[in-house]
Amino acid sequence: MLNQDDNDKLTKIGPKTPMGNLLRQYWMPAALSSELSACDSEPLRVKLLGENLIAFRDTHGQVGLVSEQCPHRGASLFFGRNEDAGLRCVYHGWKFDINGRCVDMPNEASDCPLKGRVKLLAYPCQERNGVIWAYLGPRDTPPPLPKLEWNLQLDGTTFLWRGYRACNWVQAMEGDLDSSHINFLHRTLNPDDLSTVPGVPLPGYATAGIQLLQNGGLPRLEAVDTEVGVLHTSVRHLDEGHEYHRIHPFMLPFHTMVGGGTNEKEVSFNGKLWVPMDDEQTLILEWQFRPGKPWTDEEIALLKKVRFPYGFMAPTSQAGSGWRSPANLKNDYFIDRSLQKNKLFSGILSNPLQDSAMQESMGPIVDRTREHLGPADIVIIKVRRRLLKAASDLQEFGIVPPSVDHPELYFVRPVGAILPSNSDWVLMTQKRRDPQE
């Protein structure tokens, strides 16, 4: 368990908090490119690290991310006019470019001393392959974007999902660090039935890995520190001489990956970014990457039906609204007790909703002083320590994590592997985890 002080340090991400300062060292997804689909389109509300922001795509196709409040009188720029390479406040007509410069004050005389001096808070953005990245940190020149393999491809081998949790980012993220819950929360009652949605089988690429999970018993968990975070494996016994490893990289500050497939010739990788909107809300950018084999429309439709059987709520003007599921805490995630008795251990359709139910039911910020952690929680303990140490090192000594300035550290893959019992899994899977660019 953590004491209250460490729990606060881990979960509070506002300006000038230790964890907030650490998160601001990194690029983070602010929106999907599809959410700002056209030049001079309507502004988009964004909430990151407790800040209310507005994203807009200007006349030239460039993306700006600025404070929601106009620096003149504080009116919301969400109501602004996106026109002529700038966002214009409709209250008095002041206009700001993507860098936050006030380029027009039509309600003031030409000799007004404010002209050329007023600046709106603006954060640098870069757009790469469907993701709009924002840097909210202290550097005048931001660090390079991380070299995430899934975000570097232009050939249809990657597609993106979105998600939302009404809880703190760490407790949401810890679901991906917890390999032992798979034997329970995501279990089908019939081991030969690999469907989580009635009538919809799981895609073929996942079948072998799911069968090994269903039949392999409780895992043995091991973890090692890396330059970029923590590498961990869940090991399941197969027979007298072999074990099944699911090897997952965690990369600072909020990147998780899930390994599973053992076929080296046809592999698919999945991962998530757990992005704090504020202390009690999290946006999830999830990606699916299959190198060398673009996804077909039919495959994408099937994956979406399996993972998001209820689709998403109709977007409103509020930040992150289109990332939310109709199944939520208010309606108990549409739990089906008959399904729970006869087919699914949880009675809740789809892995993301099962995870949501558990993570959000803990409350907005779980009280970790009341936990009773065991050996099965070794990865969660190690990642918490890594995050707290990185935040403390930055706060007390100005030590910036090495991953900030070395984008190549993010070019890794999760893997599944059948290995001899008690082998050196880190060494034996290194080539598969570290692909050549």
Segments of 187-316 assigned E as strands: 220-225, 229-239, 242-251, 255-258, 269-278, 281-289
DSSP state of 62: -
Q: Which two tokens stand for residue 71?
A: 């620096």
Q: Which two tokens stand for residue 426?
A: 């880190």
Task: Give the whole-number percent of the chain exceeding pLDDT 70.
Answer: 93
Q: Which of 1, 52, 57 is nearest to 34 (CA)?
A: 57
Say yes or no to pLDDT of 135 above 60: yes
Q: Measured between alpha carbons, how far is 177 from 234 in angstroms, rounded to an integer?
A: 10
Q: Measured between alpha carbons, how far is 199 from 70 in angstroms, rounded to an integer?
A: 52
Pair 416, 245: CB distance under 8 Å:
yes
Q: Which of 42-56, 261-275, 346-360 has the lowest mean pLDDT?
A: 261-275
Residue 196's pLDDT is what?
59
CATH number attached to the domain at 28-135: 2.102.10.10
- Interstrand relation of 122-123 and 102-104 (parallel, antiparallel or unpaired): unpaired
HSE (CB half, 13 Å, CA atoms) of 178?
19
Cα dihedral 297, 303, 305, 309 sign = negative
Averaged pLDDT, 75-87: 98
Confidence of residue 81 (pLDDT cuts 50, 70, 90): very high
The answer to whether 28-135 and 149-433 have equal CATH topology is no
DSSP state of 404: G
Residue 162's pLDDT is what?
93
Confidence of residue 208 (pLDDT cuts 50, 70, 90): very low
Q: Which of 77-81, 91-95, 178-182 has the lowest mean pLDDT?
A: 178-182
Q: Which two tokens stand for residue 52?
A: 């209310």
Domain limits of the chain? 28-135, 149-433
CATH number attached to the domain at 149-433: 3.90.380.10
HSE (CB half, 13 Å, CA atoms) of 198?
9
HSE (CB half, 13 Å, CA atoms) of 134?
28
Q: Which two tokens stand for residue 33?
A: 């490119």
Say yes or no to pLDDT of 207 above 50: no
CA–CA distances in Å: residue 241 to residues 211, 218, 244, 246, 421: 19, 17, 11, 17, 5
Q: Measured between alpha carbons, how far is 361 from 149 in angstroms, rounded to an integer?
A: 34
Say yes or no to pLDDT of 40 above 80: yes
**Predicted confidence (pLDDT) per residue in 136-173, tens digit:** 999 999 999 999 999 998 888 898 999 999 999 999 99
Residue 156's pLDDT is what?
87
Residue 386's pLDDT is what?
97
Averaged pLDDT, 261-268: 75
Q: Provide long-range contacts, Cβ within 8 A and 24+ apart, for 19-22.
A: 19/387, 19/391, 20/49, 20/50, 21/391, 21/394, 21/395, 22/253, 22/387, 22/390, 22/391, 22/394, 22/401
Residue 239's pLDDT is what?
84
Say yes or no to pLDDT of 378 above 50: yes
